[in-house]
Amino acid sequence: MENIFIIGTRAQLIKAAPVIRAFEKNNLPIEFILTGQHNDTMEDLIAEFGITSPPVYLVKNKEHSSIISLLIWLPSIFFLLIQTLIQFKKSHVFVHGDTLTTLMSAISAKITNHRVVHLESGLTSNNLFTPFPEEIIRRIVFKLTNIACCPNYQDIMNMQKYKNIKILNTYGNSILDSIQYLKIGEDIRKNPKTILVSLHRFQNIYNQDRLSKITEMLIILGQDYTIHFVLHPATLKKLKSFKLLKDLEIQKNIKLLPRMTYKNFLNLALSTECVITDGGSNQEELAFFGHPTLILRQTTERLDGLNANAILINEPWQIQEFIKKQKYFTLQKNKQSLQKSPSEIIAQYFRN
């Protein structure tokens, strides 16, 4: 039986890469498919993780960073996935997380009579529209899943509500294997008065008033701090369309950076005093290192580091005050240790 990994975004590749490597190590047959939802730096990530299985590119042109481009991409990728999967006998189709690629891949796998394996399964906010559209995608994928790979006990409990699903406890998220493999965080020194910012969620960048307030917050913080703002393509596009980019470009202490390799990004984050993010993966990664993290969201479905090294603050002005008073120093915690390899647990399960 083939093992078909379908990946669309950078975050998916970062978390699936150690699983793919574990399958390669155990000589398990692999097909590695990229849908093209993200294109920027994907080849760099494949090289960075040393994946030897040649990827099949369903679409390879440009980054799909706007709602319109995603809507155009969606039906074509659905058709291509069905065309591709129908060529295989009954196989395990590995999907990850809660993206549009996850949804299209799971539906396509069911239509073509394959078994759906959901990596990072069971995560839920228990609120259908928060985050949007991720929570809706998760619930649909849960119902299509045959084997759920769950990182923790809470996720296992969530998946036990669904019938006819095999549940595999991976004892952690595979992103921890990525951190270990790339030796991230070794010999990193913190630079005083520095902040890393990474924002991309729909709720933060598609609302002009909210993005304006975030921009204002960064400009004010930039009076006392050096800010490294790593721009996702969608974030850059919205800053331009709302005519906010020039306001940031003229600030001498705000460094606008393109997306970079995974290792470089995380090492840069760990070299700062704190991170402002709305990304779930960032929350997981920085919780492992105990690094001060301010999550610019109203809620988070992830428990990693919450109320320890990470804190939820939904209002930009509140983040501004929190940093001005240097309260982020209270969030610094000790680095965790990885007891078991989640990726190896998954590979052993399918080998046996």
User: Pairing state of beta strands 30-34 and 3-7?
Assistant: parallel
Structure tokens at 61: 């042109």
pTM exceeds 0.85: yes
d(CA 281, CA 269): 13
Percent of the chain with pLDDT over 70: 98
pLDDT at 65 over 70: no
pLDDT at 109 over 80: yes
3-169 and 194-331 share one fold: yes
292: preceding bond cis by omega (within 30 degrees): no
> What's at 320, amino acid-wise?
Q
Q: What is the mean pLDDT of residues 273-282?
A: 96
Q: What is the mean pLDDT of residues 58-77?
A: 74
pLDDT tens for each residue of 177-208 = 999 999 999 989 999 999 999 999 999 999 99
Percent of the chain with pLDDT over 90: 86
The per-residue pLDDT for 1 is 82
Among 299, 294, 303, 300, CA closest to 330: 294
Neighbours of 228 (CB within 10 A): 21
d(CA 136, CA 34): 23
- Decide which of 300 and 107 is more confident: 107
pLDDT at 225 over 90: yes
The per-residue pLDDT for 338 is 85
The full DSSP string for 284-349 is HHHHHHT--EEE-SS--S--TTBTTTEEE---HHHHHHHHHTTGGGGG--------S-HHHHHHHH
133: preceding bond cis by omega (within 30 degrees): yes
pLDDT at 66 over 70: no
* Domain boundaries defined on the chain: 3-169, 194-331
pLDDT band at 61 (very low <50, low <70, confident <90, very high): low
Contact 270, 188 (CB under 8 A): yes
- CA angle at residue 154 from 302 to 270, to 5 degrees? 30
| Full 3-state SS string of 47-101 | HHCCCCCCEEECCCCCCCCCHHHHHHHHHHHHHHHHHHHCCCCCCEEEEECCCHH
Q: Where does 3-169 sit in CATH, by number?
A: 3.40.50.2000
Q: Where does 194-331 sit in CATH, by number?
A: 3.40.50.2000
Structure tokens at 335: 């680095």
The per-residue pLDDT for 196 is 98
| 112 three-state secondary structure | coil
Q: What is the mean pLDDT of residues 12-28?
A: 97
